[in-house]
A and B are shown apart, each in its own frame.
Chain A
Amino acid sequence: MDLLFNILDKTLTGPITTKRDFEFKLVPQITRQILKEYGLEKTFDPSNPVNSDLNLADDFYRAGYELALRLGMFCPDTSRRVIFAEEEIREALRNAPSEIALGYGKDRVTIRSRRPEDRNPPVAEGSSLGMAISEEYFIPLCMAIAQYRVIDIILAPTLDTINRREIRARTPYETIMGMYEARYIKEALARIGRPGMPLHGVEGAPTEYGYFGGFLWGGFDPDRTIGIALIPEPITLPYQILHRVAVNHLLGSPLEAGHMLCIGGYFGSPEGAAVGSIAAQILQAASMFPTLVESTILDARYFGNTGREALWSTSISVQARSRNNKIMNLGITSQVSGPCTEMLLYETAAISIAESVSGIAIEIGTRPAACRYKNYGSALENKFFAEVLKSAAKNLKLPDANEVVKTLLPKYESKLKDPPKGKSFPECTDLKTLQPSREWLEIYEKIWRELEDLGLPRWG
């Protein structure tokens, strides 16, 4: 707890700045300076979307480390920067866990740090991350995802009602929702015969209220659940998130510290985003003492990570992080097309391969249609994601991964800004058997055959 007190003290004593100056001056200026000092400008190579130059990845790590030291974080509640001494950062990286086991019985899973081209497959987490779901489909969708044994951990979609009442942020509805999310997902896992499967939550909680509700007794079990503390871009440390950190530390529960940043946003270019995401990983480790760290890169032009620039930035960032510290990195696949489309599987394959071969420890599955449409997520794309993720680890080296992704990209990249919406969960799933529709299964088989032709064997 002393470490957390130290962080809280920093939020009260760090240099004063405004949100605006931090976001629009400090972040872009320091990022640009560091890219220049380390000779990393214009290193993005659009013709090779999965980086294979590990020396370049190491240069990016050094630049990201320097950015973490020079920039620090911003606490919007006190308008102060949270700055770290180098020794504090080193200690945080030294103390970061590199392995954790979660869950019970035959569903128990061990997550381990990985390195680029690591033959041990990453842990696959099924989800429709961030997608709103009707109460009636919540349990069926979770059951449908968990029925596939290739999926190791589950993250719920976002309930938008409980007993037909809207879940409103920062109200008791939200507090109650936290508990319902935990109960519903445990009910789904019990029904499908995987009662000990590890959990990740509270997914539907926008504020600390739903989070606290979810971790009350009878909700998410602290020894089985990874908590979620996602800080806003750029590297901002609000008390709302530190509340969650405090709860997880008090409970002794594993914690994911997470941050998403955008190419085109505060850190700028694909190179800036890569450096920024490395700094974000290091700073989250130093400020929240998490079990896992997520440091996702999206492209602000379409808010996904399956385009050429985002794939390259992601690959070099994950390689840099996984080679240079022992933190367990969590990745997210973020697609823009919807279920029951070929594009969704092409997007899923590209990002899963890039993350897996670059050294991600655990990857969260799909976000169809950018999770903008209620109920537009299904189980089959999660199965596909997990199979590709694990097969890529076993069978591909970085240059192979680059070749496969190079072949996949032209099949969909021109449609990233106007992707197909696809079909909703009840439209592409038999709700009685929880099996995918014939149409969806045929698409899945077709894309797997294409991947096999490209040298990626089927998993299992």
Chain B
Amino acid sequence: MCRDVEVINKNLNLLKEAILRGDSEAARNAALILSEAEAPVVKIIDEAIRPAMDILGEKYERLEVFLPELVLAGEAAQEALKILLPKGGAQIFKGKIVIGTIYGDIHDIGKNIVSAMLSANGYQIIDLGNDVHPTKFVEVAKTESANIIGISCLLTPSMFYMRDVIQRLIDENIRDKFYIIVGGAAVSPEWAKEIGADGWAKDAERAVELCNILMEKGEKIEKPIIIGEWR
């Protein structure tokens, strides 16, 4: 018993450090050992994965880590969560998000930052890349049984395709199966309201907050949820 506690504590630290370094292999190994030692999944998330992500988020704000490190850390966390999945079930992820930059728009740094932040905060991410046709968002969300569809857009003439994603869901009578969140340089809170999206956030940090709210109490509260609107 004592030895198990020691093993668990040691590997919780190793897992946290592995995520902070963005070392997927080390994260996977630590998660395997924790799984074999029957460490509670909640404990692993609360004491290793979440603290690592919080540290990274703070470091990003202070410009001590950058997008590539966030991406690698997110991947390391996802590796660990995959190991824990059989024990914890799908609920070890906060939710599954299909994300991409909308059709006609080839810019993706904003979307990549949001993806990395969400991934690092315990969401399973299906990243469709940039210049994604509205139909593809819907098809992949259905196939993957996603909870949230995240659509990014930098350019006004591409923005209108966001509405097509929502319309397609309505036409297929599946609008209530997914939360739709929108963001990016061209997208205002007014636009989110106009097209019937479920949420808008000003930046990556607040996109995590938005997804947390939607996953925790999205059914009970009025939408769209707007976080960080200009005053």
- Which residues of chain B are within 8 angstroms of A132 by Cβ–Cβ distance? 156, 186
In the assembled complex, the Cα of A268 lies from the Cα of B110 at a distance in Å of 14
Verify if B50 is at the interface (C-beta below 8 Å from A): no
**Known interface pairs A303-B185, A371-B185; A207-B107 also in contact (CB < 8 Å):** no
Verify if A180 is at the interface (C-beta below 8 Å from B): no
Verify if A263 is at the interface (C-beta below 8 Å from B): yes
Question: For residues 16 through 39 of chain A, which have their beta carbon under 8 Å from a beta carbon of chain B?
Answer: 23-25, 27-28
- Which residues of chain A are within 8 angstroms of B109 by Cβ–Cβ distance? 232-233, 262, 265-266, 300
B106 near A232 (CB under 8 angstroms)?
yes
- Which residues of chain A are within 8 angstroms of B9 by Cβ–Cβ distance? none
With a 10 A CB-CB cut-off, give which of A132, A169, A210, A267 has the most chain B CB atoms. Answer: A169
Question: For residues 216 through 231 of chain B, which have their beta carbon under 8 Å from a beta carbon of chain A?
Answer: 228-231
B107 near A338 (CB under 8 angstroms)?
no
On chain B, which size bracket covers the interface? Answer: 35 or more
B186 near A372 (CB under 8 angstroms)?
yes
Q: Mark A301-328, 1 if CB is under 8 A from B, else 0.
A: 1110000010000000000000000000
B114 to chain A, nearest CB (A): 11
- Which residues of chain B are within 8 angstroms of A270 by Cβ–Cβ distance? 63
In the assembled complex, the Cα of A270 lies from the Cα of B63 at a distance in Å of 9
B105 near A169 (CB under 8 angstroms)?
yes
Partner of A206, one of B110, B158, B203, B231: B158
In the assembled complex, the Cα of A338 lies from the Cα of B186 at a distance in Å of 15
Verify if A70 is at the interface (C-beta below 8 Å from B): no
Verify if B13 is at the interface (C-beta below 8 Å from A): no
Interface size on A (CB < 8 Å)?
Answer: 54
Q: Mark B97-112, 1 if CB is under 8 A from A, else 0.
A: 0000001111111101
**Known interface pairs A28-B66, A206-B155; A301-B106 also in contact (CB < 8 Å):** no
In the assembled complex, the Cα of A300 lies from the Cα of B205 at a distance in Å of 12
B113 near A300 (CB under 8 angstroms)?
yes
Verify if B68 is at the interface (C-beta below 8 Å from A): yes
A417 near B161 (CB under 8 angstroms)?
no
With a 10 A CB-CB cut-off, give which of B108, B109, B158, B231 has the most chain A CB atoms. Answer: B109
A170 near B104 (CB under 8 angstroms)?
yes
Question: For residues 165 through 190 of chain A, which have their beta carbon under 8 Å from a beta carbon of chain B?
Answer: 166-170, 173-174, 177
Q: Mark A234-278, 1 if CB is under 8 A from B, else 0.
A: 000010100000000000000000000011111111101000000
Question: For residues 198 through 254 of chain A, which have their beta carbon under 8 Å from a beta carbon of chain B?
Answer: 204-207, 210, 232-233, 238, 240
In the assembled complex, the Cα of A173 lies from the Cα of B104 at a distance in Å of 13
Partner of B156, one of A204, A233, A267, A268: A204
Chain A residue with the shortest CB-CB distance to B228: A418
Partner of B66, one of A167, A206, A210, A269: A269
Q: Mark B56-73, 1 if CB is under 8 A from A, else 0.
A: 000011010011100110
B107 to chain A, nearest CB (A): 5
A370 near B185 (CB under 8 angstroms)?
yes
In the assembled complex, the Cα of A173 lies from the Cα of B188 at a distance in Å of 22
In the assembled complex, the Cα of A174 lies from the Cα of B72 at a distance in Å of 38
Q: Write 24 A-B pairs (CB below 8 A) sorted by A numbering.
A: A24-B71, A130-B185, A132-B186, A158-B155, A166-B160, A167-B156, A168-B104, A168-B157, A169-B157, A169-B161, A173-B157, A174-B104, A207-B104, A232-B108, A265-B66, A266-B66, A267-B66, A300-B113, A301-B60, A301-B61, A373-B190, A418-B230, A421-B230, A421-B231
A419 near B230 (CB under 8 angstroms)?
yes
B105 near A374 (CB under 8 angstroms)?
no
> What 3 A-B pairs have minimum CB-CB distances, sorted nearest first?
A169-B104, A421-B230, A206-B155
In the assembled complex, the Cα of A204 lies from the Cα of B159 at a distance in Å of 12
- Which residues of chain B are within 8 angstroms of A347 by Cβ–Cβ distance? none
A206 near B157 (CB under 8 angstroms)?
yes
B63 near A206 (CB under 8 angstroms)?
no
In the assembled complex, the Cα of A417 lies from the Cα of B60 at a distance in Å of 14
B63 near A373 (CB under 8 angstroms)?
no
Chain B residue with the shortest CB-CB distance to A261: B109
Verify if B45 is at the interface (C-beta below 8 Å from A): no
Partner of A268, one of B66, B104, B155: B66
A265 near B113 (CB under 8 angstroms)?
yes
A162 to chain B, nearest CB (A): 11
Verify if A455 is at the interface (C-beta below 8 Å from B): no
With a 10 A CB-CB cut-off, give which of A24, A28, A158 has the most chain B CB atoms. Answer: A24
B157 near A266 (CB under 8 angstroms)?
no
Q: Mark A368-403, 1 if CB is under 8 A from B, else 0.
A: 011111100000000000000000000000000000
- Which residues of chain B are within 8 angstroms of A338 by Cβ–Cβ distance? 230
Chain A residue with the shortest CB-CB distance to B130: A232
Verify if B187 is at the interface (C-beta below 8 Å from A): yes
- Which residues of chain A are within 8 angstroms of B68 by Cβ–Cβ distance? 23-25, 27-28, 266, 268
In the assembled complex, the Cα of A164 lies from the Cα of B67 at a distance in Å of 40
Question: For residues 394 through 442 of chain A, which have their beta carbon under 8 Å from a beta carbon of chain B?
Answer: 417-421
- Which residues of chain A are within 8 angstroms of B202 by Cβ–Cβ distance? 417
Verify if A160 is at the interface (C-beta below 8 Å from B): yes
B230 to chain A, nearest CB (A): 3
Question: For residues 141 through 168 of chain B, which have their beta carbon under 8 Å from a beta carbon of chain A?
Answer: 155-158, 160-161
A303 near B186 (CB under 8 angstroms)?
no
- Which residues of chain A are within 8 angstroms of B231 by Cβ–Cβ distance? 418-421
